Amino acid sequence: MSSSDQDEFINGDTTEVLQDSYESLEWKAIDFNLLSSYYQQDGNNAAVTGGIGSEALTDFTQKVSLTVPLNKKLSVKFDGGYDYYSSVSTDNIDNVRSSDSSSDIRAHGNIGFSYQLEKQKNISGRIGTSNEYDYFSINSALFYDYKTEDENTTIQLGFQTFQDRWSVIYPREIKNSSSVPTNKRSSYNASFGLSKVINRKMQLFIQLEGTYMNGLLSTPFHRVYFTENSAVKIEKLPSNRLKIPIGIRFNAYLNDWMLARLHYRYYWDSWGIQANTLSAELPLKINRFFAVYPFLRFHSQQAADYFKPYKEHNLQDEYYTSDYDLSKLNSLSYGLGLSYSPAGGIAKFNMPLNQRKFMFKSIDLKYSHYDRSTGLKADIISVGLGFTF
């Protein structure tokens, strides 16, 4: 699954279907959220084995987030978790089945803050790390939000950076003849967002981003096979990449029990990929506290300049990959979400020492199915639990 395609499918838009307010709670209330998901995919275009072979993969994700207000203007946020995955594809890195590369755990954590400068101005940021068997990453971000006095228009500026270091792993049979110029990768992202309340029933949001990446952008354990005598090398891609996505989201209140959330995204990058994504979500409000939201998403992209299938590259090519995430493809994902969030919470408990209230306030369930024209299929089910105390 392509990186932008995968991110949207797995993470999705964590839409707040029900906007219940908790004004009765003091600013000292602490929010705690727990997210669990299970993802599985299968296909027959594994990049590890040169564009052929099983893409079977399962991933279990557990994530927690904690937001603690320190005063009426400043709050801090902690989030972290892990992903445990098992992959037939990466198990073929060394051509030894059920080896150490067949599964792994990625752990990640962030600490951030949010500070209200003035009534209409807010600044927030974070710093965090992520670690897996073959890489270590440090990330940081800073955001600035401004609302007009009538609060109908919001502008957000953001900047993020990721600094990654790889533990370079080569396929066993060609590791002595392979090398990469660096084991580092840097990514820098700048974003501009504009949200506008058109009237009581309509809202428009526009976002423009730019991401520049340099360093090791290929994956050293991805094989590429050539037309000449079944020659095989490791994937080779340019050491820099520019990505520019532009998104437009339109939300409309149709009636007392239905909303419409429509989204279009155009994507361009310097490797030759252009993509278009359309998605729609129709939250149906069963009552004040319970909603269901069916959703549909279509994605289409053209291939990167450096992509060719198994054994179709020439040794004279400067860059080469058989990673189908960079191929020409269409994909369709669809599913259903359920949200239950009573204004008074689902359940309340007294804390044992200080007698503060602990509230189980919301539960969200979501299922998505993904089909890609290359044959890849995937499913994900997730559950989110919200607490306040």
What is the model's pLDDT at position 104? 86
- The predicted model gives 35-45 an average pLDDT of 96
Exposure of 308 by Cβ count < 10 A (0-12 exposed, 13-18 middle, 19+ buried)? buried
* Calpha distance 120→161 (Å, rounded): 26
Is the distance from CB of 337 to CB of 365 less than 8 angstroms?
yes
The CATH number of residue 264's host domain is: 2.40.160
- Number of folded domains in the chain? 1
* Tens digit of each residue's pLDDT (9 = 90 or more) over 233-273: 999 999 999 999 999 999 999 888 889 999 999 999 999 99
pLDDT of residue 95: 59
Residue 49 inside a domain? The answer is no
User: pLDDT per residue over 106-154, tens digit each?
Assistant: 999 999 999 999 888 999 999 999 999 888 999 999 999 999 988 899 9
Task: Give the residue from 38, 41, 133 showing the smallest Cα distance to 94.
Answer: 133
Give Cβ neighbours of residue 179 (< 8 Å, ≥ 6 apart).
none
Question: Cα(361)–Cα(27) distance, rounded to whole angstroms?
Answer: 16
Q: What is the pLDDT of residue 357?
A: 78
Q: pLDDT tens for residues 42-72?
A: 999 999 999 999 999 999 999 999 999 999 8
pLDDT tier for residue 101 given thresholds of 50, 70 and 90: low
Over its C-alpha atoms, the chain yields an Rg (Å, rounded) of 23
Reported as a pLDDT band with limits 50, 70 and 90, residue 2 is low
Neighbours of 21 (CB within 10 A): 7
Model pTM?
Answer: 0.88
Q: Nearest Cα to 235, choosing from 50, 4, 89?
A: 50
Q: What is the DSSP string of 97-114?
A: TT-GGGEEEEEEEEEEEE
Beta 184-199 vs 232-234: how paired, if at all?
unpaired
Give domain status of residue 348, yes or no.
no
Residue 340's pLDDT band, with cuts at 50, 70 and 90, is: very high
Q: Percent of the chain scored above 70 by pLDDT?
A: 90
In a domain, 54, yes or no: no
Residues 6+ apart with CB under 8 A from 295: 279, 280, 281, 282, 334, 335, 336, 337, 368
pLDDT given for residue 354 in this prediction: 64
The mean pLDDT value of the chain amounts to 89
Evaluate whether residue 20 is within a structural domain.
Answer: no
58 belongs to a structural domain = no
Residue 60 lies in a domain: no
Is residue 176 one of the residues assigned to a domain?
yes
Determine the structural domain holding residue 98 and report its residue range. 3-13+65-341
User: Which amino acid is it at 160?
Assistant: Q
Alpha helices in the chain (DSSP H): 3-11
In the predicted structure, residue 346 carries a pLDDT above the cut 70:
yes
Across the chain, where does the E strand assignment appear? 31-42, 57-69, 74-87, 103-118, 121-132, 135-147, 153-166, 184-199, 202-215, 223-225, 232-234, 240-255, 258-269, 274-281, 284-285, 290-301, 329-340, 347-350, 357-372, 377-388
- Residue 4 pLDDT greater than 60, yes or no: no
| pLDDT number for residue 7 | 47
CA 210 to CA 269: how far, in whole Å? 10
Tell me, what's the pLDDT at 25?
40
pLDDT of residue 21: 34
pLDDT (tens digit per residue) in 157-212: 999 999 999 999 999 888 888 889 999 999 999 999 999 999 999 999 999 999 99
Q: Quick check: is 352 in a domain?
A: no
| For residue 30, pLDDT beyond 50 | yes
The residue that leads in pLDDT, 89 or 369, is 369
